[in-house]
Amino acid sequence: MSAPPVLAANSVSMVFGGLTALSNVSLRLQEGQILGLIGPNGAGKTTFFNCLTGLYSPTTGNVQLRGKVLPTDPAAVTVAGVARTFQNIRLFPSMTSLENVLVGRHARMKQGPLASLFHGPAYQRGERDARDRALELLEFVGLGKAHDELARNLPYGDQRRLEIARALATDPKVLLLDEPTAGMNPQETEATRQLIFAIRETGVAVVVIEHDTKFIFSLCDHVSVLVQGQLLVEGTPEVVRADPRVIEAYLGKPPDEVEAEVRQYAEEVAHGGPEATQVIQPVRDQDGHEGGKR
């Protein structure tokens, strides 16, 4: 990979009090790439997103956009060209779809307070351009008809798409999607997959957090696996999918295998074999780390 990455996280660590949420996570996103970030609940995916978007300032390490270190202020990061959506939808519920997207245009509009007060011709032009762009984006994500609908009244899937349109309105170079298909049915998930491909076509690089591994493997060019705050594996979907550590981290070991190991361990202890200590450490997903969402 000789081309300079559009987004690079360099050894990002994040410590909350005594809890290390991320340790030395590095990531390189190339132009035009779709990168998947997977990992069990509580692995630190959203914490990592928050570090990328300036919501948290990393304890060590930094994030660079096209070689420039990003500030740790969400507004400034957005202005620099990194946009995001949220895991639990955070639209402006009592604004219309169009107004939501127009808020996304905020950083790309120039009108100051005085222009806003007097609504001169230049102001009108800027406002019209912003509206046109916003409507175009709504059309792009398939919400063209719903522009006058209040965000709170939109169906769930449309709310997720509106959030993407709002993020795209900031003219990002990199788009970060935090679980864009959570709670969607298969049709909606497929539509979202096509939408993300279409976003890539417009020259925006995308990072996606998802639980749905099938979705990630069929979408991404590159996948990184985060487990307990550490980057476990990264590579093409084929490589990651085949890696036994990923299967283990994500799914735990198959029950019979665990059973076999327990038996083996017991036997080894019985025979006085001291090296048995390293064997049983399956990282549990469902039963082990529930409620660990950050």
Residues near another protein (CB under 8 A) are: 53, 55, 73-75, 78-79, 83-84, 86, 90-95, 99, 102-109, 111, 113, 115-119, 123, 127, 130, 146, 148-150, 152-153, 166, 170
Closest CB to another protein among residues 75, 242: 75
CB of 227 to another protein, least distance (A): 27
CB of 208 to another protein, least distance (A): 17
Residues in the chain: 294
Angle between helices 156-168 and 97-105 (to 10 degrees): 20
Closest CB to another protein among residues 23, 46: 46
Joined tokens for residue 87: 């895991």
CA 142/CA 144 separation, integer angstroms: 6
CB of 86 to another protein, least distance (A): 7
Closest CB to another protein among residues 34, 89: 89
Joined tokens for residue 281: 């450490």
Paired strand residues for 111? none
Joined tokens for residue 96: 């219309």
Residue type, position 204, single letter: V
- Work out the burial of residue 118: count CB atoms within 10 Å of its CB; fewer than 13 is exposed, 13-18 middle, 19 or more buried: exposed
Nearest to 203 by CA among 174, 178, 177: 174
CB of 134 to another protein, least distance (A): 11
- CA separation, residue 199 to residues 26, 110, 119 (Å): 24, 25, 33
Closest CB to another protein among residues 206, 219: 206
CB of 56 to another protein, least distance (A): 12
Closest CB to another protein among residues 106, 200: 106
